[in-house]
């Protein structure tokens, strides 16, 4: 891997100029952001927003209120987000853990290492979801790795794209200062660029990163992400 700080900063600057501030993560409370992080697994945010709106109309965007909803009814609220029966179980598991741990006010005081380990022990929460929660709900300097990150940085020739999640996360965190605001904006810009430009079939001619991109220079077109 070749994740030098100067190169990463240059990529960040170009993405910011191209896409503008992203102002992530949408949510009116820590708990809402946590729920959104679970629901966004394998679906587009617009679908998550519809499910969140259902919960808001049902006045179920508070931990105790959500657990009071019958599991089948909760699944219907979450239906727009896809895999709604699975996600209902995952959201309930996270909410039960949160209440057992003393609520958001209590776990906010936990060190990042402890909080991350506890989140990863909750049913249905993997590394990416845990790091979404840490970064966006609790403002912790944890760099989120997703499919867009792998696609963009492997095409740039800075990673192979086959590294394990923890290996990539540690590499980005070692190369960048531990600043949650920067990590927040960087990840959001990566997602915007991956969705709009560096797609599975990319728009290299409009890409602000094309000058340093091995993929664009080669003229290759990948059939997968």
Q: Point out the domain boundary residue: 88, 116, 137.
A: 137
The pLDDT tens digits of the residues spanning 151-200 come to 999 999 999 999 999 999 999 999 999 999 999 999 999 999 999 999 99
**Is 208 a domain residue?**
yes
Whether residues 152 and 75 fall in one domain: no
Q: How far, in Å, CA of 62 to CA of 52, rounded? A: 12
**Is 224 a domain residue?**
no
For residue 84, give its domain range.
30-137
Q: How far, in Å, CA of 20 to CA of 188, rounded? A: 10
Share of the chain above pLDDT 70, in %: 97
**Is 196 a domain residue?**
yes
CATH of the domain at 94: 1.10.340.30
**Is the pLDDT assigned to residue 132 strictly greater than 90?**
yes
CA dihedral 70, 72, 76, 82 (to 10 degrees): 120
- State the average pLDDT over residues 113-129: 98
Task: Count up the domains in the chain and report the number.
Answer: 2
pLDDT band at 220 (very low <50, low <70, confident <90, very high): low
Q: Point out the domain boundary residue: 101, 117, 137.
A: 137
Whether residues 60 and 157 fall in one domain: no
pTM, rounded to two decimals: 0.94
Q: How far, in Å, CA of 42 to CA of 5, rounded? A: 31
Coil, helix or strand for 29?
coil
Q: How far, in Å, CA of 123 to CA of 134, rounded? A: 17
Mean pLDDT of the chain: 95
**Is 220 a domain residue?**
no
pLDDT band at 224 (very low <50, low <70, confident <90, very high): very low
- Per-residue pLDDT, 1: 85
């Amino acid at each position: 891997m070749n994740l030098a700080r100067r190169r990463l900063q240059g990529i960040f600057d170009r993405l910011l100029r191209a896409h503008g501030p992203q102002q992530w993560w949408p949510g009116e409370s820590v708990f809402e952001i946590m729920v959104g992080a679970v629901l966004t697994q394998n679906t587009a945010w617009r679908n998550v927003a519809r499910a969140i709106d259902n919960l808001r109309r049902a006045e179920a965007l508070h931990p105790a209120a959500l657990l009071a909803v019958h599991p089948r009814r909760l699944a219907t609220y979450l239906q727009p987000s896809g895999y709604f029966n699975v996600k209902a179980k995952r959201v309930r598991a996270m909410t039960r853990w949160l209440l057992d741990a003393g609520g958001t006010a209590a776990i906010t005081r936990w060190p990042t290492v402890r909080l991350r380990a506890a989140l990863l022990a909750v049913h249905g929460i993997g590394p990416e979801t845990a790091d979404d929660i840490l970064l966006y709900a609790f403002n912790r300097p944890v760099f989120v790795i997703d499919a867009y990150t792998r696609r963009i940085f492997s095409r740039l020739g800075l990673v192979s794209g086959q590294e394990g999640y923890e290996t990539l996360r540690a590499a980005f965190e070692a190369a960048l200062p531990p600043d949650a605001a920067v990590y927040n904006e960087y990840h959001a810009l990566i997602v915007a660029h991956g969705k709009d430009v560096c797609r599975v079939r990319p728009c290299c001619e409009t890409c602000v990163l094309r000058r340093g991109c091995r993929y664009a220079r080669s003229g290759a077109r990948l059939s997968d992400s």
